[in-house]
Structure 1
Amino acid sequence: MIRKAVVKKVLTPDERARIRATLQTNHDQAVREYEQLKFYLKRSEHQKQTETTQRLRKELVAKEEAVESINFQMEQLDLLPGGTELKVAEVEIEQDIEVGMQWEDKPAEIIVEDGVIKDIR
């Protein structure tokens, strides 16, 4: 039988550093894209390209919101206590069933700590 399972990572110092590095990379990329969009916006305003200007303004707002979201995630990461289980994915697993087994409606959980499966619940 195929069943859903939730994959959770335990927040260890190494995992926190990995997540922070990923968030920082995403933040830097979003800031670069934001600055590039600002440049294109100024150029389109100077050339009086109305449709392009409107599209770039929308993209600029979306990119600004993305930067703010990443900043918020970094702040929240600092507040989480060590040992917190973070949901990272949902996967499908194969499970053997037999007549008479106890049926559980809730999805299974796979707990990963520092890249190693520690528990399957």
Structure 2
Amino acid sequence: MKILQNVIVKQILTKDSKEKLYKQYEEGKTQLQKEIDQFKFELKKQEKLKKFSPKSLKVHFEKEISGREEKIKLFDFQIKQLDILPIGSELKDQELQSILEVKEGDNWENVIAGKTIVVKDGIVSEIRER
């Protein structure tokens, strides 16, 4: 019988991976700031057209802008955390599902324990039983 099992992927922090993460976070912040600027521009444009109620229009755009500002704060927090973490730390990168073959006689504790894949600089360095 085959079952689905969650697998945690962890990344070992190296100098290169730390720089990549910084770059990803900064690019994410830049993209969000561009989106905020675009929303502000669109808001002014829509206000001039007067097709929609100014109050509801403003509420809608402010909600979108506020959501992106929160994401920027999250990126800032992640950057601060990255500064604190020493090289060699393990970061949870993602969670995947794998197909696992279960047969009669298998140790159930080992089956449900799950697995963790450890990646260092893009290369699988270890597969652990949890």
TM-score, normalised relative to structure 2? 0.79
1:119 is aligned to 2:126: yes
Candidates 47, 66, 85, aligned match of 1:61: 66
Rounded Cα–Cα distance in structure 1 between residues aligned with 2:64 and 2:102? 50
* Matched residue, 1:23: 25
Percent of residue pairs identical:
30
- Is this contact kept in 2: 1:41–1:57, CA < 8 A? no
* Matched residue, 2:82: 77
Contiguous gaps of at least 5 residues in structure 1: none
Q: Shift in Å at residue 107 of structure 1?
A: 2.1
Question: What's the secondary structure of 2:119's corresponding residue?
Answer: strand
Q: How does 1:87-102 map to 2 (within 5 A)?
A: 87-98=92-103, 99=105, 101=107
Rounded Cα–Cα distance in structure 1 between residues aligned with 2:97 and 2:66? 37
Candidates 100, 106, 117, aligned match of 2:113: 106
Which deviates further from its counterpart, 107-116 or 35-44? 35-44
- 1:54–1:106 distance in 2 versus 1, CA, 3 Å: same
- Is this contact kept in 2: 1:44–1:53, CA < 8 A? no
Rounded Cα–Cα distance in structure 2 between residues aligned with 1:21 and 1:31? 15
How large is the Cα RMSD of the aligned pairs?
2.1
Contiguous gaps of at least 5 residues in structure 2: none
How many residues get paired? Answer: 121
Q: Shift in Å at residue 102 of structure 1?
A: 6.2
1:86 is aligned to 2:113: no
Rounded Cα–Cα distance in structure 2 between residues aligned with 1:119 and 1:79? 25
Q: Shift in Å at residue 38 of structure 1?
A: 2.3
* Matched residue, 1:10: 12
TM-score, normalised relative to structure 1? 0.85
